[in-house]
Amino acid sequence: MELKRVVVTGLGAITPLGNDVQTTWKNALAGKSGAGPITHFDASLFKTQFACEVKDFNPGDLFERKEIRKYDRYSQLAVKAAADAMTDSCLELEKENLDRIGVIFSAGIGGIKTFEDEVGEYFLNKEKGPKFNPFFIPKMIADIAAGHISMIYGLRGPNYATVSACASSTNAIVDAFNLIRLGKANAIVTGGAEATISPSAVGGFNAMHALSTRNDTPLTASRPFSASRDGFVIGEGGTALILEELEHATARGATIYAEVAGGGMSADAYHLTASHPEGLGAKLVMRNALEDAEMNPEQIDYINVHGTSTPVGDISEVRAILDVFGEHSYKLNISSTKSMTGHLLGGAGALEAMLSILAIRDQIVPPTINHEDGDNDPEIDYQLNFTFNKAQKREIRAALSNTFGFGGHNASVILKQYNK
C-alpha cells in the first residue's frame, strides 16, 4: 500500500524555559538555563537541591477548582500543552470525524507525586485504617494524560500512552506517525509530559549518582560534552504536537510546520541504566530512522542529541554519530537542548522534537550551553560542531532527534522541511 505523508500542524508547550512555545523557543535561542533551586519540596538534605522547574503555572487558570484534584501535575502540564497545540492547529472539531482523531501521549513515570502523597499519608496514619483518595489510581497511571485529552475534546481515535523511560514521547510521536501514514487516523495529538521533581524521584536518581550535584552553580550544572559534567539536571514540563495526514491538512488550509520523514526504534540489550559504551543501540536506532525515511546520512543537517550530561552517555552517543554519519559528521550541527531545559525524562523527546521543528522553520540551531574553553574530554572529538554556547544560523533541510531511556530503549525521529 502507498503510505500517506504526515505533517505537523500544531505545537504546544509548557517548559522550564517558558509557559508557551514562543517563550520557550526565544529562551532556547538565547541560551538561557531553566535551572534553579527546587521549590516543590524542601531539598536541603538532598545531594541535589536544584532542578529545571516550570515557573508560575497556576492550574486554576486551566481547570475548575473542583476538577484540579483529579489531575496529577504531570497531567495538568500535558493538558496545558495539548490545549495550546489544538488552538495552534486551528482544527475545527465540529467539522471533523472525531472517530479518526486520536491521542498518543506519554510519560516515563506518570503521577509519582500523587503516589508519594497517598502512600505517605497512609503510613503516617495507618493506625486509623486505610484511607485513600478515590482519584489516587487514575491520577497516578501513566496513560491518564492521554485519556484526559481525549475526553476533553471528544477524540475517539486511537488512544494510549507509550512508556519507554526517556524515549517515551519520541515513541509516541513515531507511533502516531505510523498510524496516520497507514490510514488509521486523520490526525493525532501526540507528545509527552513529566512532573518528577519530587523527593522520591530526586532521591532515587541521587542514589544512582545520575544527577548533577553542582548546588552552588545550578545555571551551569547541565554541561553536555564537557569534561567536568557530573550528571543530568532533572526537569519537568509538557509538549504536544498535532500530527496530521497531509491531504487532510491541506484540504482545510492548515499551516504546516514540517513533515515527519521517518522514525526508528531499537534496544541496547546491555544494561539497566547505562548506554552501551560503543553506542550500539544508538547506531541502530539512527540507521533505522534513516532507512524508514529513505534518506541518506548526508541529508541530515542537524541532530538534537540525547546529550544528558552524563559521563558515559555523552561519549557513546558521539561514537554512534561518527559511525553512522562518517565524514558528514563534521558538516552537521549537533546540540543538546537539555543543557537549557534539563532532562524531562518521558517528556524529553516531544520537547526536543518541537525544538527541532522550530530550528527547521527558522533555519537556526539552538545551542549547547555551559561549555568552557579547555573543559574538553579526551574521549570526545571536538572537531564536531556541538553548537557551543551560541545559536547558529544555517540551512536545515532535515533534523534528527535522539532519545535513549533506562532499560536500553532508543527512539529517533526525523523531521524535514515540508515541500509540496
148, 248, 276, 343: which is the annotated catalytic residue? Answer: 343
Q: Give long-range contacts, CB 8 A cutoff, 24+ apart: 326-330.
A: 326/297, 328/297, 328/298, 328/300, 329/384, 330/383, 330/384, 330/385
What is the model's pLDDT at position 58?
95
The residue ranges of DSSP E strands in 25-99, in sequence order, are: 36-37, 50-51
Please name the residues in contact with 32: beta carbons below 8 A apart, sequence gap of 6 or more. Answer: 17, 340
- Helix, coil or strand: residue 384: coil
Nearest to 145 by CA among 165, 131, 127, 162: 162
Q: Measured between alpha carbons, how far is 104 from 162 in angstroms, rounded to an integer?
A: 7
No. of H helices and E strands in the chain?
13, 14
Q: Measured between alpha carbons, how far is 9 from 34 in angstroms, rounded to an integer?
A: 27
Cell 494510549 -> residue: 160
Amino acid (1-letter code) at residue 225? F
| Banded pLDDT at 214 (limits 50, 70, 90) | very high
| Banded pLDDT at 137 (limits 50, 70, 90) | very high
Q: Measured between alpha carbons, how far is 284 from 320 in angstroms, rounded to an integer?
A: 9
Q: Is the pLDDT of residue 128 over 90?
A: no
Query: Catalytic: 90?
Result: no
CA 67, chain centre distance (Å): 26
- pLDDT, average across residues 338-361: 98
The fraction of the chain above a pLDDT of 90, given in percent, is 95
What is the model's pLDDT at position 118?
94
Cell of 128: 486509623
Q: Is the pLDDT of residue 38 over 90?
A: yes
Cell of 314: 555523552
What is the model's pLDDT at position 107?
97
Domain boundaries, the chain: 6-416
- 1-26 pLDDT per residue, tens: 799 999 999 999 999 999 999 999 99
Tell me the CA distances in angstroms from 248 to 166, 173, 230, 255, 410, one per residue in order: 31, 18, 47, 12, 31
Q: Measured between alpha carbons, how far is 336 from 398 in angstroms, rounded to an integer?
A: 17
Contact 18, 29 (CB under 8 A): no
What is the model's pLDDT at position 273?
85
- 87-126 pLDDT per residue, tens: 999 999 999 999 999 999 999 999 999 999 999 998 988 8
Cell of 272: 539497566
148, 276, 306, 409: which is the annotated catalytic residue? Answer: 306
What is the model's pLDDT at position 35?
98
Contact 105, 159 (CB under 8 A): no
Bridge partners of 267, per DSSP, are 409
* pTM reported for the whole predicted model: 0.97
Query: Catalytic: 343?
Result: yes
The fraction of the chain above a pLDDT of 70, given in percent, is 100
How are beta strands 187-194 and 237-245 bridged, if at all?
A: antiparallel
What is the model's pLDDT at position 175?
98
Q: Is the pLDDT of residue 129 over 90?
A: no
Q: Is the pLDDT of residue 277 over 90?
A: no
What is the model's pLDDT at position 337?
98
Amino acid (1-letter code) at residue 210? A
Domain 6-416: CATH superfamily is: Thiolase/Chalcone synthase (3.40.47.10)
Query: Catalytic: 306?
Result: yes
How are beta strands 258-267 and 302-304 bridged, if at all?
A: unpaired
52, 148, 166, 248: which is the annotated catalytic residue? Answer: 166
What is the model's pLDDT at position 269?
93
Contact 140, 117 (CB under 8 A): no
- pLDDT, average across residues 192-203: 98
Length of the chain: 420
Hey, how many other C-beta atoms are within 10 angstroms of the C-beta on 138? 18
- 220-268 pLDDT per residue, tens: 999 999 999 999 999 999 999 999 999 999 999 999 999 999 999 999 9
* Secondary-structure percent of the chain, ordered helix, strand, coil, rounded to 5: 40, 20, 40
Region for residue 114 given its phi and psi (left: phi exceeds 0; alpha: psi -120 to 50; beta: otherwise): alpha
